[in-house]
């Protein structure tokens, strides 16, 4: 389950967290009621099953209400404590959920809401693995690295420390490695190899895959194809409002268009010179 829109998020998350243990405890109570009936009917097998079900449901769900936190695991009790008692923690949780919504909609990693990223990656966020902080530091540095070799080192660190990421997020990171190899190293062959390492390509958002297609087209010298693909990306951006980040993302893609046009012009000049 996930949020469908950024509306009354704190209230909805609180209900969501409480609903799990409540449903489990209700199941345990129902099992106890039927256990009494089974005992009256002297049904030993059914009594055993209902006893186990009631005991397991009550134990697990009562235990989940204790505030426990280990890495990315936070019990329902810890989540509820944060949402009800910690303004700073609630802000971190809400920022994390908002970023999840952006990623599901295919927002470019470079265009995620910077304030939400800063809040979600700050220390103390109970629903974020502490290893994410180091990963995020490397990722942020990679985004602004102007020197290609430095960017390559930072991206390599992200890849090396990505074991804790979900499969979907790891696939997006692998796509970024393909984009980097094609766009900044102009190596279509190895970029294609990176792209083939994506475990679940069918789960990639079309926008994420489109970035790789643009970069591969440029690395292959097909700049007109890349420009057409960029136009398709701009149409997607303009049609789908993305929590106020559409303007920023459009600016990034327009800049990319200008860079592709510049490379195309350089290629044309080089061909004319050789002729």
Tens-place pLDDT, residues 155-170: 999 999 888 888 888 9
Tens-place pLDDT, residues 10-43: 888 888 889 999 999 999 999 999 988 888 888 8
The answer to whether position 118 is within a domain reads no
The answer to whether position 94 is within a domain reads no
Q: Cα–Cα distance between 152 and 90 in angstroms, integer?
A: 35
What is the model's pLDDT at position 220?
A: 92
The answer to whether position 124 is within a domain reads no
Q: Which residues pair with 73 in a beta bridge?
A: 70
Tens-place pLDDT, residues 168-207: 889 999 999 999 999 999 999 999 999 999 999 888 888 8
Number of domains comprising the chain:
2
Residues 81 and 169 in one domain: no
Residue with tokens 């989940």: 64
| Domain end marker among 85, 113, 131 | 85
Residues 174 and 264 in one domain: yes
Range 113-120 average pLDDT: 76
Helices 44-63/9-40 angle, 10° precision = 160
| Domain end marker among 49, 70, 85 | 85
Q: Cα–Cα distance between 179 and 143 in angstroms, integer?
A: 13
Q: Cα–Cα distance between 200 and 3 in angstroms, integer?
A: 23
User: Could you give the angle at the alpha carbon of 236 between the alpha carbons of 235 and 242, nearest 5°?
Assistant: 125
The answer to whether position 71 is within a domain reads yes
Mean model confidence pLDDT for the chain: 84
The answer to whether position 235 is within a domain reads yes
Q: Cα–Cα distance between 176 and 7 in angstroms, integer?
A: 31
Q: How many CB atoms lie within 10 A of CB 235?
A: 10
What is the model's pLDDT at position 243?
A: 44
Is 195 exposed, middle or buried (CB count within 10 Å of its CB: 0-12, 13-18, 19+)?
buried
The answer to whether position 251 is within a domain reads yes
Q: Cα–Cα distance between 36 and 32 in angstroms, integer?
A: 6
**What 3-state DSSP class applies to 147?**
coil
Query: Where in the sequence is the domain holding 235, given as residue range(s)?
Result: 164-274
For residues 221 and 191, the answer to whether their CB atoms sit within 8 Å is no
The answer to whether position 237 is within a domain reads yes
The answer to whether position 151 is within a domain reads no
| Domain end marker among 69, 85, 101 | 85
pTM to 2 decimals? 0.65
């Amino acid at each position: 389950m996930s949020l469908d829109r950024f509306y009354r998020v704190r209230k909805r998350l609180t209900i969501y967290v409480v609903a799990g243990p409540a449903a489990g405890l209700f199941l345990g109570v129902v099992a106890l009621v039927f256990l009494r009936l089974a005992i009256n009917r002297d049904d030993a097998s059914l009594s055993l099953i209902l006893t186990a079900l009631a005991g397991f449901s009550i134990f697990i769900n009562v235990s989940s209400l204790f505030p426990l936190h280990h890495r990315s695991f936070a019990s329902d009790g810890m989540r509820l404590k944060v949402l009800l008692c910690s303004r700073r923690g609630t802000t971190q949780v809400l920022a994390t959920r908002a970023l999840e919504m952006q990623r599901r909609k295919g927002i470019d990693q470079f265009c995620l809401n910077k304030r939400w990223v800063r809040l979600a990656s700050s220390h103390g966020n109970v629903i974020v693995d502490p290893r994410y902080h180091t990963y995020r530091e490397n990722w942020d540095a990679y985004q602004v690295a102007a020197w290609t070799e430095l960017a390559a080192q930072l991206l390599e660190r992200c890849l090396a420390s990505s074991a804790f990421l979900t499969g979907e997020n790891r696939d997006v990171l692998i796509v970024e490695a393909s984009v980097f190899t094609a766009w900044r190293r102009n190596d279509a062959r190895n970029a294609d190899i990176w792209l083939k390492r994506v475990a679940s390509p069918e789960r990639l958002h079309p926008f994420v895959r489109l970035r790789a297609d643009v970069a591969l087209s440029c690395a292959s010298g097909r700049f007109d194809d890349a420009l057409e693909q960029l136009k398709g990306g701009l149409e997607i951006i303009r049609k789908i409002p993305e929590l106020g980040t559409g303007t920023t993302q459009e600016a990034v893609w327009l800049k990319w268009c200008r860079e592709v046009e510049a490379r195309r012009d350089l290629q044309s000049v080089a061909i004319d010179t050789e002729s």
